[in-house]
Structure 1
Amino acid sequence: MNGDAVVDRGRYPDVVTPWEREEWRAAALDWVSDVLDAHGLRETGPRRVRLRPWSVLVRLSVEGAGPVWFKAGPPAGRFEAGLTEALSEWVPEHVLKPLAVDAGRGWSLLPDGGPLLADVLRDGPDGPRTWEALLGRYACLQRSLLPYAGKIEALGVPGARTATLPRVFDRLVAENGALTEADRAVLNGLRPRVAEWCEELAGLGIADSLDHADVHAGQVFVPSPGRFTFFDWGDAAVSHPFCSFVVPAGHAAERYGPGVLPRLRDAYLEPWTGGGRTARDLRRALRLAWRLGAIGRAVAWGRLFPGAADATDLAGDAQAAGSLLRLRDEPAV
């Protein structure tokens, strides 16, 4: 394989990842080489390595084909490789099909997925309409995965189910060293409401499913107009599916203004209609999940490489504390 590499550390010049260990790097690249050989592919050109506190990503050029991508996650996100493989079997129309995964080591080799949504939005004439279509397709993906929630958890994907969120909340508050006494007073005051919100949300009749937890324009490919491919499942959890809405809604509102939110809400909720659920019930569920999604986001901040937070300005506890405190914010929909 080509030994040249261009390394991008972004805002984390001192980030600690397994890539710095020669033995790990050699094993990973040997695995990639074996996979490429098995597919009759040959690497050409320099590698581009992207190191972050939560992932190692290597872009490899392949002769006669588009690039392929090697990804390795931290121990707490190791489930992503096996989840990616399983999703390609369960919902192939919505995700990438990996060339190979090593679920035990949390490694995957993925094909290129086409243009990013971020590039399409930059060049396209009607961004809000694209977001409406995307959220409708994402809701369809989540509905398709309702029967697989238990299997998804069995792959190691963390559980943040609606019924257990109060206990998850208690653990996060107890373990977080970045919360001040004032923060803890706020969160302890919210605790009874968290339990009430969860009970009400569970009673509205939408079962738990896969929550990507970080759907934004940099996490979605647009292989052709009207088609969307979702990737990067390292923050995922099994939770109430509506908890996913807050991140894409926030990105879209920042770009187009809060007036876009009712359109996006209705586009996301449309696939969930039926089964005796009223529009009022669905909108109430979305408002509840808007708040409670903050708990899943707080959980995800613990998925960093060991030592990564110590060598960067990224403090997982501080980020998780900020997520938890957003429970007090009024929903924007």
Structure 2
Amino acid sequence: MRHESSVVVDRGQYQDAVTPWEEESWRDAALGWVESESAARGLRVTGDWRVRLRPWSVLVRVSVQGRDAVWFKANPSASAFEGPLTAALARWVPEHVLEPLAVDAARGWSLLPDGGELFRSVLEREPVKPSTWEALLGQYADMQHALIPHTQEIEQLGVPSARTAALPDVFDQLVAENSTLRPDDRRRLDDLRPRLADWCTELAALGIEDSLDHSDLHDGQLFHPRPDRFTFFDWGDAAVSHPFCSLLVPARTACERYGHDVLPRLRDAYLEPWTGTGRTTADLRRAVSLAWRLGALGRACSWGRLFPAASDASDALGAEECVRWLLELSNDPPI
């Protein structure tokens, strides 16, 4: 039914990563599911499969006759919530996300439409002003604000709970489970623990409700289909946590392009939807500073969401990246 010559596989820098794609029975079942779900929606798959394998996902670009490609994604068990979450977001905030064509929650599979041009591709092609980043952060904050009433439902879908008041427990678990920590790094983190608890207490006291934290919102995780609109996707690293933790990754990505002087503008654009709630500008900016630091916990957690036996090298990489992000907790925020 399928020919190897029509399958192009990209392993990136993870040449030794072990994913379900290596199992012929899994591969046949997955591609068969794509074909049947596509056919049920009147789509004819042409058989051109472009596969991207990483320790944390299997992603397949599937050519479809007469229209844009569709995308199959398989998540490991630790992020199998992504498909159901994406479907739920399409009901709650449809203007901000993709609507899946099909989801198999039990197997961690999703079939998604093409979302248009990646923001990263736009940045590579033409000059983009910082005001564009301000717009995307404002739109993302609008979405987070709208999702506050749905946080319990989001957790019931299997999205990890890392609520602000519980972040010290998240920290404790990450430290306890990481076998690669050197003694001096472990001492540094032990010494940091009381301060981290104080930051969490102060942030929670500011009264901003928890929401959905993407945890990895860089320029390759959002589409820019038209000048005034962005589409957010790739929710496999997400958690229910303090919403402002989401600012860490996109703001750092923008800083690499424009320099640190852009940070106040980005911060204030992100905060605009959170004003008018009785909190002062100073309170909101303080919350950003605290959440910027604590956002490292979300990044540390995400490196535990790999396929089982992704390979010793990948497991080691995940553990090392987790440590790197934990140690960033001691760095003073730039804003």
Could you tell me the TM-score, scaled by structure 1's length? Answer: 0.98
1:234 positional shift: 0.5
**In structure 1, what residue type is equivalent to 2:10?**
D
Cα distance in 2 for residues equivalent to 1:135 and 1:296: 18
Q: Equivalent residue for 1:29?
A: 31
Match of 2:286 among 281, 284, 287: 284
Does residue 1:178 correspond to 2:177, yes or no? no
Q: Equivalent residue for 1:110?
A: 112
Match of 2:93 among 91, 94, 106: 91
1:125 positional shift: 3.2
- After TM superposition, list the pairs within 5 Å mapping 1:9-158 onto structure 2: 9-158=11-160
**In structure 2, what residue type is equivalent to 1:161?**
R
Q: Secondary structure at the match of 1:222?
A: strand
Q: Equivalent residue for 2:317?
A: 315
Cα distance in 2 for residues equivalent to 1:309 and 1:316: 11
Q: Equivalent residue for 1:326?
A: 328
Change (3 A) 1:2 1:227: farther
Cα distance in 1 for residues equivalent to 2:38 and 2:263: 44
1:315 positional shift: 1.9
**In structure 2, what residue type is equivalent to 1:59?**
R
- After TM superposition, list the pairs within 5 Å mapping 1:248-263 onto structure 2: 248-263=250-265
Cα distance in 1 for residues equivalent to 2:315 and 2:195: 33
Is the Cα–Cα contact under 8 Å of residues 19 and 53 in structure 2 kept in the other structure? yes
1:309 positional shift: 4.1
Please give the root-mean-square deviation of Cα atoms over the aligned residues, in Å: 1.2
Cα distance in 1 for residues equivalent to 2:211 and 2:114: 27
Cα distance in 2 for residues equivalent to 1:275 and 1:127: 30
Q: Equivalent residue for 1:236?
A: 238
Cα distance in 2 for residues equivalent to 1:248 and 1:187: 26
Q: Equivalent residue for 2:8?
A: 6
Is the Cα–Cα contact under 8 Å of residues 2 and 46 in structure 1 kept in the other structure? no
Q: Equivalent residue for 2:220?
A: 218
Q: Equivalent residue for 1:208?
A: 210
Cα distance in 2 for residues equivalent to 1:313 and 1:64: 41
Query: Residue by residue, what CA displacement relative to the aligned partner does 1:98-156 show, whole Å, maximum 9, x if unpaired?
Result: 10000111100000000100111223333311111100000001001000110000000
**In structure 1, what residue type is equivalent to 2:271?**
L
Cα distance in 2 for residues equivalent to 1:188 and 1:313: 24
Cα distance in 1 for residues equivalent to 2:234 and 2:224: 14
Cα distance in 2 for residues equivalent to 1:101 and 1:120: 29
Q: Secondary structure at the match of 1:260?
A: helix
Cα distance in 2 for residues equivalent to 1:295 and 1:311: 22
Cα distance in 2 for residues equivalent to 1:62 and 1:223: 20
Is the Cα–Cα contact under 8 Å of residues 2 and 47 in structure 1 kept in the other structure? no
Could you tell me the TM-score, scaled by structure 2's length? Answer: 0.97
**In structure 2, what residue type is equivalent to 1:87?**
L
Identity of aligned residues (%): 65
**In structure 2, what residue type is equivalent to 1:256?**
Y
Change (3 A) 1:270 1:183: same
Is the Cα–Cα contact under 8 Å of residues 2 and 44 in structure 1 kept in the other structure? no
1:57 positional shift: 0.4
Cα distance in 2 for residues equivalent to 1:43 and 1:163: 48
Is the Cα–Cα contact under 8 Å of residues 95 and 230 in structure 1 kept in the other structure? yes
Cα distance in 1 for residues equivalent to 2:291 and 2:114: 33
Cα distance in 2 for residues equivalent to 1:97 and 1:5: 26
Cα distance in 2 for residues equivalent to 1:127 and 1:310: 42
1:278 positional shift: 0.7
Give the gaps of 5 or more residues in structure 2.
Answer: none
Cα distance in 1 for residues equivalent to 2:63 and 2:149: 38
Is the Cα–Cα contact under 8 Å of residues 192 and 330 in structure 2 kept in the other structure? yes
1:89 positional shift: 0.6
Is the Cα–Cα contact under 8 Å of residues 54 and 303 in structure 1 kept in the other structure? yes
